[in-house]
A and B are shown apart, each in its own frame.
Chain A
């Protein structure tokens, strides 16, 4: 079961999946929080947050990557902070690739979750409050379950986006085989060298297969979840 991929190519695929999965899972709680704040929150700076969340969607990825380098690089203020507190280094590590992918996928994820949240009827939350449920319990037992299809859709969308992220990743953590080289950056490298078209093609097919699988999974999950939530 190698699908004709060499061990080095499998390493690229495995690292890509690792990066994308971490990027998605680690940003999910923040995605839910941001979506809640944007959909329901009434606070000063809400517009600023909205713009900050959506900026990576429109900014040239190379700019986002550069900003990450400045902020999270080994000399950057946030980079030093995470190094000191959590022992977490981003610069030229797979963790940095995951961070870049997470930032780039974040707006898509937040949008999907926010749509799901808008579809949750606040009247149900009111009813839960009159039954004695605290705000936390209302969120856990009513809001969150009803948002679940949207959260899943957002997660899969974010995952697919993370899997394909190129510009910010290569700018922030470069393209180091076995360290930070993901499928898109590997394809890019292969295409720079004459005679490597076959290897590139194998990764391209793999990339298409993974993306298509993610979309199919998302459709299927969303449909089944929606059915369970609606109870019909």
Chain B
């Protein structure tokens, strides 16, 4: 189901402007706090009325300021998972989950009550009151509640930001299952790069109210042609690999891109599982020769695609490794010393230990 979204709104301190067409899957709106990400979601849900805007989901036109159409929030069929669970405190978890059922009536749910309760692990919680739930449990209930209203589009506004690292790690797999098994388009707002890298199919980059870039997650985080789309802190590669084995003695998982092994620390996934992992551009080193006597386990042959010199001392080098894009952040001095230029074949070196657990998830 294709989603057409265009919004323009003037706030006292910011001008919001976004224009895009989305084709399902999980689209992350990524950017620093104050970039206007939440305002986009609120306008999509009808909780904010933009100066100008148009929103079409499939065949349904929900908003068109040109012709004065602005559907009420309740009629939009848009699920919303907020930063905090916002469960109704006077109802049980089960009653919260069933609150949106009236709207779902007569339309096929992506997942019925029982399978959804199982998917989100809510079985034990059904008779509890929201006040007795942990933050992570509350957010899972909120997610289930939104899905059971049979939305055409699901909005998620930093649903993990109020949680500590451990709860975050607990919740991410549920989101991955949701993305892979439920098939509702999701618009997911976050300022956390590891979260976005693990979840997003498409990334919309926002800054100061403006849409800076849109594209497949791997492309956007690689910095695009000019490299200025992405800040140096978050530039990196998103690689899709397949689990090919596990080394018992050293506790390393062998993943492959094509025939080339990449060693990851710890046991991750099962044989033939597809994984996606994020390599921070600062964790990748470049060498012209095959290195000898080096502790890093991963030496990947690669070809330079492009070099984007930043305003400071650094440069972002995009490389091709068997059809997937690697990104290395190196100094301009190194660019000169190695005489880096597009087409040059060299080796990208990645320490296994730099690929921490939270940077690996199912593809």
Contacts and interface: CB of A to CB of B under 8 A. Distances in A.
Interface string A119-154: 001011011111111110100011001100000000
A231 B129 contact: yes
Chain B at the A interface: mostly helix, strand, loop or mixed? Answer: mixed
Interface size class of A (residues with CB under 8 A): 20 to 34
B78 interface: yes
Interface string B124-141: 000001111000000000
A98 to B, nearest CB: 32
A129 B104 CA distance: 14
A229 B73 contact: no
Nearest to A231: B129
Contacts of A121: 86
Interface in B60-81: 72-80
Contact of A231 (B103, B131, B146, B149): B131
Interface residues of B, number: 31
A229 B82 contact: no
Contact of A232 (B47, B80, B103, B132): B132
B255 to A, nearest CB: 40
B88 A142 contact: yes
Contacts of B149: 130-132
B343 interface: no
A126 B47 contact: yes
B340 to A, nearest CB: 50
- A interface secondary structure, majority: helix
Contacts of A42: none
Contacts of B76: 130
A157 B100 CA distance: 36
Contacts of A128: 88, 99
A130 B90 contact: no
Given A123-B82, A127-B80, A232-B132, A134 B74 contact: yes
Contacts of B88: 124, 127-128, 141-142
A146 B89 contact: yes
Contact of B74 (A133, A228, A230): A133
Given A127-B82, A129-B73, A130-B73, A229 B90 contact: yes
Interface in A214-232: 228-232
A131 B86 contact: no
Contacts of B118: none
Given A124-B88, A229-B90, A129 B74 contact: yes
B45 interface: yes
B99 A133 contact: yes
Contacts of A131: 74, 79, 99-100, 103, 145-146, 149
B89 A132 contact: no
Interface of B: 45-47, 72-80, 82, 84, 86, 88-91, 99-100, 102-104, 129-132, 145-146, 149
Interface of A: 121, 123-124, 126-135, 137, 141-142, 145-146, 228-232
**Which 10 A-B pairs have CB atoms at the shortest separation, nearest pair first?**
A132-B103, A231-B129, A131-B100, A130-B80, A127-B86, A129-B73, A232-B131, A231-B131, A229-B90, A131-B149
Given A129-B73, A132-B149, A231-B132, 13 more contacts: A123-B86, A127-B82, A130-B47, A130-B76, A132-B75, A133-B99, A133-B102, A137-B102, A141-B88, A230-B131, A231-B90, A231-B130, A232-B131
